[in-house]
Amino acid sequence: MAEKRSKKLVQGNEACSEGALYAGCRFYAGYPITPSTEVAEILSARLPNVGGKFIQMEDEIASISAVIGASLAGLKSLTATSGPGFSLKQEGIGYACMAEVPCVIVNVMRGGPSTGYPTGPSQSDVMQAKWGTHGDHPVIAVTPAYVQEIFSETVRAFNLAERYRTPVLILYDEIVGHMREPVTFPLPGELEVIDRVKPTCPLEEYLPYDTEYEIAPLAAFGEGYRFHVTGLNHRADGFPTNDSKLIEKGIKRLTGKIENHREDIWKNEEYLLDDADIVVFAFGSTARSARYSVRKARENGLKAGLLRPLTLWPFPEKAVRDAVVRAKAVIVPEMNLGQIVHEVERCACGVKVEGIFRVDGEPINPRQILDVIEKYR
Amino acid sequence: MATLKELSAKKELFSGGHRLCAGCGIPPIVRLILRSAGSPVVATTATGCLEVGTSIFPYTAWRIPWIHSAFENAAATISGIESAYKAMKRRGNIPADKEIKFLAIGGDGGTYDIGFQALSGALERGHNFVYVCYDNGAYMNTGIQRSSATPFGSATTTSPAGEVRKGKKEWRKDLTKIVVAHNIPYAAQASPHNWRDLEKKGAKAFNCGGPAFLNIISPCPLGWYTKSEESITAAQLAVDTCYWPLYEVENGVLRVTYKPKEKRPIEEWLKIQGRFKHLFMPENKWLLEETQKRIDAEWQRLLEMDGKHVF
C-alpha cells in the first residue's frame, strides 16, 4: 500500500521547521526572538532525531556565523530570527553572499525599528532584506502567505540556496508565522530537493570560485579539497586579491549568477489577472486580504486582479510589466510606510500606482483595499 | 548597614502595579538595589522581563531616569550615560560634587550571552557603574529557552528533556568568576531571600568607586515550574544547597558571606522545580549524583579561596 500523506493542523513556524527537514536541513543555529522562536524550539527536539544538530548560540551574530560554518562543512543549514536579530545578522549574510555559502535565513517580520512591536506583524524589513548588508550583493527572498506555502517555500529556499550557492531569505510576517492552518505534508520525493554540486576533479585542480563555472562546485571541509574562504575579494582559488580586474569580475559574477537566472527564481501567483484593469500587487499575509478584496470587487462588477509574488527578490519586474499592460491602476498594500510600492512604480510603465500602508501592528483588512479598488471604477 | 526599619523608611523608587508575574524574583531585587544606592540613580535595562513588565504605556514602575536600550547593550548604554555625566560635571552643567549613581540591569540572557561583550568592555574601561544581573536561568521573556546560565539538566524549550536528551547537558557558565577576572573593585553573588546580605552588597557596589557587578539569583515560577508562593524558599534552597553561594570579591579578596550551617543536598532545591522533574526518574539518578559532585567540588574550591586574594 502506498504511503499516505499526513495532514496536520500546524503553525507557520512549525511548517517552516518541517519544510527545512524535508529539504534536508541538518543544522540549525539560532537565538530566541519573538515571533520566530518556535522554529528553534521545534528543531531543538526534531533535529537530533534525524541525525542533525541544533545549537542555541549566544547571540544572532554567532548564529549566522555557525550556520555559515556548518554549511561549509557540508550540511544544509538554517537560522530563524526577527527584526533586531535580522539587523545583527547582516554582516554574516553579506559574508555568505561573498563567500558563496548556501544557507537559509528566516525573518518572521515584526514591527520595527529597533525592538519595535515584537508580537505584532509587519512587512517593513523587505528593503532591509534587499540592501541590509553593505556592498553590491545578490539577494533571493521568498515570501510565503499560507502555512502550507511556508512549508513548500522553505523547501524551495533551500533548493535555491544550494543551486546558486547563496544565502536565501524567507520573509513572512508574524500573522502567518503564528497562524495555524491544515498542512498536507508531501511524501519524500514529491517535492524536488536539490543538493549542491560537489567537485569531482582531482584534489590539486579544485578551485572553489572557478570562473569556468557560473556557480562553481562546492567541496565540504574535510573532503580533501583545499578550500580557502574569505570575505575579502578573492581569486578563483579563494585567496584574497587586490587585482582590480579580478575584483570587478568577481562582483559582477556574484550578482550576475542570480540576475541571469531570474526566470528560474521568480515565482508568482496570478489571480483573475488576465483581463484585470485594476491590479493589486501584494505579498505575504497582506495578499490574503488582497485576494478577498479582488474577489469582492469582481462581484461588484470591477475588473480587479491580484499579482502575488512568492519571490520578492529579485523583484518580479517582468510580471509587473506584463500585468500593467491593460491596467489603469496598480494598488500596493503593504504593512510598512511604502517600500515595495516604489519597486512596483519603477516597473509600472507610467501606470498610476497607489500604496496602502499600515504600521499600527494590525493587518491590512480587505475593506481598506476594496475601498481603494472602488476609487478606480 | 541599614536596618529593615530604616530600609522601609526609604523612598520606594520602584513602584508596585507592574506586570511582572506573581512570585517573580526580580521586583524584590530591584527594590532593594535601588534602596541601597543612597543617591540619585540613572538606570538602563536590557530587553527582558524586567523591561517589558515595568514600562508598558501608560504606566511605568520607575521613579528614576530609566532607559530601555536593546538586548545586547545595557552596559554600553550606561557607559555612554556615565561618561556624559562626567563631561557635564566638567563643564559645570551639573555641580561637580553631586553624587549620581549609574545602574545597568539585565537578565541572564542579556548578560551572560548577548550582552557579554558590552559588559566586559564596560568593566575593562572602568566606568563607575553597577551592573546587576537577575539570573533566572533561561530566556523567560521569550518562553523559557536555555541560556548559558541555565543549570545542568534543566529542561527548557530549546533543551527539552526526552528519551535521548535529559535537558541541558552543559554546565552553567560561571559569570561571576569571569567578571572577577576583570579585576574590578567589587563583584558579588546575592539572593533576594537574604535581603540583608543583598542590600549590603548593593551599597558596597555603589560606593566602591569603579565598576561593580552583582549576580543575583532570581526565582521564576514560570520557567522553574515552581509555586508562586515558594519563590523565596526556592532562592533560599539554591543558597543552602550551595548551588548559588553567596560571596563577594572586594579589591581582589574573596569572602564567602554566608556559609550554611548545614549544607543541604541538591535534590532539595531541584525537586521543588518542574524543570528538573526528569532528573528524578530512576534511570537519571546519575545526573543527580553528577550535579551533587560538581556542586560539592565548586563549594569546596570557594571555601579554599575564602579570605584570600584571588587576583
Size of interface A-B (CB pairs under 8 A): 52
Pair A17, A109 in one domain: yes
Does some domain include residue A227?
no
Nearest to B236 by CA among B299, B188, B194: B194
Record the cell numbers describing residue A123, joined without a space: 512587512
Enumerate the H helices of chain A as residue ranges: 12-22, 37-46, 60-72, 83-88, 90-99, 126-131, 147-164, 174-178, 244-259, 262-265, 284-299, 317-323, 340-347, 366-375
Residues B151-173 pLDDT 10s? 999 999 999 998 888 999 999 99
Q: How far is B157 from chain A (nearest CA, A)?
A: 6
CATH of the domain at A62: 3.40.50.970
pLDDT number for residue B273: 98
Pair A170, A36 in one domain: yes
Cα–Cα distance for residue pair B117/A62, rounded to 1 Å: 12
Does some domain include residue A205?
no
**Predicted structure pTM score:** 0.93
CATH of the domain at A311: 3.40.50.920
Range of the domain at A281: 268-374
Query: Please, are residues B195 and A80 in contact by the beta-carbon 8 Å criterion?
Result: no
Count of domains forming chain A: 2
Reply yes or no on whether the pLDDT at A2 is more than 80: no
B71 vs A contacts (CB less than 8 Å) = 84, 115
Percent over 70 (pLDDT), chain A:
99
Is B148 in CB contact (< 8 Å) with chain A?
yes
User: Which of A56, A88, A114 is facing B146, going by the closest CB pair?
Assistant: A56
Peptide linkage before A48 cis (omega within 30 of 0)? no
pLDDT number for residue B235: 98
Residues A94-144 pLDDT 10s? 999 999 999 999 999 999 999 999 999 999 999 999 999 999 999 999 999
pLDDT number for residue B311: 82
With 0-12 / 13-18 / 19 or more C-beta atoms within 10 angstroms meaning exposed / middle / buried, residue A269 is middle
Does some domain include residue A172?
yes
At residue B1 the predicted structure's pLDDT band, cuts being 50, 70 and 90, is: low
pLDDT number for residue A226: 86
pLDDT number for residue B304: 97
Pair A177, A274 in one domain: no
Query: Please, are residues B129 and B211 in contact by the beta-carbon 8 Å criterion?
Result: yes
Does some domain include residue A299?
yes
CB contact under 8 A, A32 and B162: no
Reply yes or no on whether the pLDDT at A86 is more than 80: yes
Query: Please, are residues A232 and A75 in contact by the beta-carbon 8 Å criterion?
Result: no
Q: Under CATH, which architecture does the B4-305 domain have?
A: 3-Layer(aba) Sandwich (3.40)
Last residue of a domain, one of A132, A165, A185: A185
CB contact under 8 A, B142 and A32: yes
B139 vs A contacts (CB less than 8 Å) = 32
Reply yes or no on whether the pLDDT at A307 is more than 80: yes
Residues A236-246 pLDDT 10s? 999 999 999 99
Last residue of a domain, one of A185, A220, A243: A185
Residues A348-374 pLDDT 10s? 999 999 999 999 999 999 999 999 999
Last residue of a domain, one of A164, A185, A206: A185
pLDDT (mean) for B77-102: 96
Where would I find the beta strands (DSSP E) of chain B? Answer: 41-45, 66-68, 101-107, 130-135, 186-190, 212-217, 247-250, 253-256
Q: Which of A17, A33, A41 to mutate to test the interface with B (most CBs of B within 10 A)?
A: A41
Average pLDDT across chain B, whole number: 96
Pair A176, A305 in one domain: no
At residue A1 the predicted structure's pLDDT band, cuts being 50, 70 and 90, is: low
Is B195 in CB contact (< 8 Å) with chain A?
no
Does some domain include residue A101?
yes
Q: Which of B114, B141, B165 to mutate to test the interface with A (most CBs of A within 10 A)?
A: B114
pLDDT (mean) for A192-205: 96
pLDDT number for residue B301: 97
Residues B266-288 pLDDT 10s? 999 999 999 999 999 999 999 99
Reply yes or no on whether the pLDDT at A328 is more than 60: yes
Q: Which sequence spans correspond to the domains of chain B? A: 4-305
> Which helix (DSSP H) or strand (DSSP E) does residue A330 occupy?
strand A329-334
Q: Which of A47, A108, A115 to mutate to test the interface with B (most CBs of B within 10 A)?
A: A115
